[in-house]
Amino acid sequence: MPAVKTTTGDRAPPGVIALDIYGTVIDPAAIVIHLSNAFDTRAQLAAQLWRERQLEFTFRRALMRKYADFDLCTAQALTQVSAQLGVKLGEDDKRALLDAYLRLPAFPDVKLGLERLKASGYRIIALTNGTEKSVRALLQHAGISEYFEMIVSADAIKTFKPDPAVYQLVQRAGDTPKQNVWLVSGNPFDIIGAKAYGLKAAWVRRDPSRVFDPWEFSPDEVVQNLQELCAALQRK
């Protein structure tokens, strides 16, 4: 297959796409399948609460400057949810669920979307609160690691998004001005953080009923999936 040209005449390459991973590329809600044995009819609720507590713990740790990595926040959130719902999990059960978190699937639109972004000349970088080791395992399991130039993890500076320092990380890693970096995320807090730092941002709104946070920052683009994102960026 011939190489795809990334420039036309004197036109500069399109720039950098910084993709959030959990909730944008990888579907955390898919963990519900693994929760059904322990939580039975409340598996869906457990999955939702697990994700909410996971994010809450990262926010609190970043504000307190009491860092523990995303994997530990995920484990502590699981412990919290099992206690809240009155479900006793043994150590083997917890380990199995945390291992399953490293094998979550990508959303169905992701692979084709990444192919199209790559073909358009964008440099694709993972910008994540997750540890590099765990995110690499996720991307490899999902069969999409080849599309990412690098993984930029907040773990490198011991904080979490939406700390501005995390968005600065990807700008430095991409070695490009802010105006050439797009942060793409399914998480409104992430979009707001990127916009506050000065990046462009596209919100992947897979749930049409979801309402964006009423802040002074809003996404430059709103799309339903990564394939729509390609079309939106081509219009720019």
Active site residues: 20
In angstroms, the CA 206 to CA 187 distance is 10
Nearest to 89 by CA among 37, 42, 41: 37
Q: Are 155 and 74 in contact (CB under 8 A)?
A: no
Q: Are 18 and 153 in contact (CB under 8 A)?
A: no
What is the chain's percent helix, strand, coil content, to nearest 5? 55, 15, 35
Instruction: Please write down the HEC assignment for all residues of 115-167.
Output: HHHHHCCCEEEEEECCCHHHHHHHHHHCCCHHHCCEEEEHHHHCCCCCCHHHH
Q: Which helix (H) or strand (E) holds 221?
A: strand 221-223
In angstroms, the CA 59 to CA 45 distance is 21
SS3 4: coil
